[in-house]
């Protein structure tokens, strides 16, 4: 037999699309060519495959070898095609039974010794293979990650020789199935909210944001606990569903840092430095990789010192924050990455940081304050549902014998209750309500409409700001167990949008 076909998959964004690795042996001078838009790492696989086959005790075919990666118009990258190419060569040359390859998909990078090394994107590959009804052969280092997909037949191989031995004796393949990882929400790794002393208004805003999935901005002088509050948010967020966990883990799986399997049910918390570029934040590269905004999918993206970020970097976040996804386009292809995040930001009110502080006098002129605050564009601020002031606290609250506030476990119980009410009503958090759903579930009486209209004219709010205020009011009502939005709910929601407009106006 001079032809074989081995099934594999290529990564396009967070999707694993099928690739047929076709091997043909023909007469002529010995050579090996790879076609089908391979990038450098794929073209170099011919040298790795040759050495791996020889060092595994097999014969490398001295024929004219053509390897086609179909479809031909899909770019192929990485070393994940080494294993299917090697298996296809052995099948085409009659050294293994081609029938044993039916219904299986293969991914893995080969060392020169024949060892199978780990590759990225194993989780989305396993999800796609399971949906296609195929079993998946992966490197042993990736087996636990792949086993997160319930019901998928995963076979781990340590080397090319190891795999071929098991293909010859299929009854032993069952021993290669890894044990699935038990689910865990990872709360033991989260900082506790009881560490925060005082700051009752900020804690309340944090609970509202967690209950409805709202974006939050913390404004105040240095050292008042803004970063500390933000780092406690993951510990009070409601747990992710299985589907959300798989989506989040898939993004981590294709990233350069890889997936931490022990924390795959924990909501991510990303805090990039303010010197980060736009590509680092939203993703990119010649072979597009997810950025911080996608790595925080279904979790928290914390931007500390918000005005210190480049204006252009912040502005590229407008659409992802609004739409929950981002598309990276390149000349030959494009990749879609999810970016449904909860944005938490912190900033000082002025360059020196003490404008509005009751103790430290501010040294900035009104022009300096206005210029500093204007580094954050109005359209981005318009997408932040809750803006809260964080002020200094008294020393009595900092003493070791001072009474602590509620723990994350206590607050999380209330958050989960409010969140469940939202799921029962619309199947999603209030922050993600559409315009039609706002009209249906955020109903106001005539007196509330008149009050909201006067507030709109006073604070010059946009239509988006009004919609987001109604969403926050709906969340506050859910926290109170109310079916309807009452006046106090609406007034509290509106108070969260006037911090920069009123308290910190130069």
The beta-strand segments (E) located in 348-480 are: 386-389
Task: Read off the tokens for 376.
Answer: 């954050």
Domains and CATH numbers, the chain: 3-176 (3.30.230.10), 187-503 (3.40.50.300)
What would the DSSP string read from start to end of 290-331?
E-HHHHTTTSEEEESSGGGS-HHHHHTTHHHHHHSEEEEE-S
Those residues with Cβ within 8 angstroms of residue 198's Cβ, 6 or more apart along the chain or in another chain: 393, 394, 397, 405
Per the CB < 8 A criterion, the answer to whether 334 and 208 are in contact is no
The Cα 324–Cα 130 span in angstroms is 26
The Cα 371–Cα 6 span in angstroms is 61
Those residues with Cβ within 8 angstroms of residue 130's Cβ, 6 or more apart along the chain or in another chain: 136, 149, 151, 152
pTM comes to 0.88
> For residue 71, is the peptide bond before it cis, meaning its omega torsion is within 30 degrees of 0?
yes
- Which 3 state secondary structure label does DSSP give 405? coil
**Residue 110: predicted pLDDT:** 96
**Residue 309: predicted pLDDT:** 93
The Cα 75–Cα 81 span in angstroms is 12
Q: Is the dihedral of CA 478, 480, 484, 486 positive or negative?
A: negative
pLDDT per residue as tens, the chain (506 positions)? 689 999 999 998 899 999 999 999 998 889 999 999 999 999 999 999 999 999 999 999 999 999 999 999 888 989 999 999 999 999 999 999 888 899 999 999 999 999 999 999 999 999 999 999 999 999 999 988 998 888 888 888 899 998 998 887 765 544 445 555 555 555 667 788 888 888 888 999 999 999 999 999 999 999 888 999 999 999 999 999 889 999 999 999 998 778 888 788 889 999 999 999 888 898 877 778 899 999 999 999 999 999 999 988 888 888 888 888 888 877 667 888 999 999 999 999 999 989 988 888 999 999 999 999 989 988 888 889 999 999 888 776 666 666 777 888 999 999 999 999 999 999 999 999 999 999 999 988 888 888 888 888 888 888 888 899 999 999 999 999 999 999 899 999 998 987 666 666 66
The Cα 261–Cα 178 span in angstroms is 13
**Residue 175: predicted pLDDT:** 44
The alpha carbon of 253 is separated from its chain's Cα centroid by a whole number of angstroms, namely: 10
């Amino acid at each position: 037999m001079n032809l074989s076909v081995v099934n594999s998959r290529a990564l396009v964004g967070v999707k694993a699309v099928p690739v047929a690795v076709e091997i043909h042996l023909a007469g002529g001078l010995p050579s090996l060519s790879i076609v089908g838009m391979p990038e450098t790492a794929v073209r170099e696989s011919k040298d790795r495959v040759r050495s791996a086959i020889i060092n595994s005790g097999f014969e490398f075919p001295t024929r004219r070898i053509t390897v086609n990666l179909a479809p031909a118009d899909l770019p192929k990258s990485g070393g994940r095609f080494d294993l299917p190419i090697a298996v296809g060569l052995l099948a085409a040359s009659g050294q293994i039974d081609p029938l044993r390859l039916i219904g299986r998909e293969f991914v893995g990078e080969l060392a020169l010794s024949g060892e199978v090394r780990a590759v990225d994107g194993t989780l989305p590959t396993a999800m796609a293979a399971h949906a296609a009804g195929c079993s998946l052969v992966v490197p042993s280092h990736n087996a636990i990650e792949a086993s997160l997909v319930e019901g998928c037949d995963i076979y781990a191989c340590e080397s090319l020789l190891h795999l071929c031995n098991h293909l010859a004796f299929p009854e032993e393949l069952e021993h290669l199935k890894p044990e699935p990882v038990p689910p865990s929400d990872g709360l033991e790794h989260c900082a506790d909210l009881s560490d925060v002393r005082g700051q009752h208004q900020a804690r309340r805003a944090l609970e509202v944001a967690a209950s409805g999935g709202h974006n939050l901005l913390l404004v105040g002088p240095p050292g008042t606990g803004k970063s500390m509050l933000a780092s406690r948010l993951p510990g009070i967020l409601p747990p992710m569903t299985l589907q959300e966990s798989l989506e989040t883990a898939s993004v981590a799986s294709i990233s350069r840092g890889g997936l931490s399997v022990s924390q795959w049910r924990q909501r991510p918390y990303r805090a990039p430095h303010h010197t980060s570029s736009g590509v680092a934040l939203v993703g990119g590269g010649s072979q597009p990789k997810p950025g911080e905004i996608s790595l925080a999918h279904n979790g928290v993206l914390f931007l500390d010192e918000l005005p210190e970020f480049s204006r252009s970097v912040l502005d590229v976040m407008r659409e992802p924050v609004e739409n929950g996804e981002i598309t990276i386009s390149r000349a030959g292809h494009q990749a879609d990455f999810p970016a449904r995040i909860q944005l938490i930001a912190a900033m000082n009110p002025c360059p020196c940081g003490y404008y509005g502080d009751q103790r430290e006098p501010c040294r900035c002129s009104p022009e300096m304050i206005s210029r500093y605050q204007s580094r954050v564009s109005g359209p981005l601020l318009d997408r932040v549902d809750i803006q809260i002031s964080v002020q200094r606290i008294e020393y009595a609250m900092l003493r070791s014998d001072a009474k602590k506030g509620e723990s994350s476990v206590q607050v999380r119980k209330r958050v989960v209750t409010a969140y469940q009410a939202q799921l029962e009503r619309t199947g999603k958090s209030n922050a993600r309500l559409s315009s039609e759903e706002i009209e249906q579930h955020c109903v106001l009486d005539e007196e509330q409409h008149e009050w909201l209209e006067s507030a709109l004219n006073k604070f010059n709010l946009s239509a988006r700001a009004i919609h987001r205020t109604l969403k926050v009011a709906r969340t506050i009502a859910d926290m109170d167990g109310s079916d309807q939005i009452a006046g106090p709910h609406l007034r509290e929601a509106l108070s969260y949008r006037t911090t920069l407009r009123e308290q910190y106006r130069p």
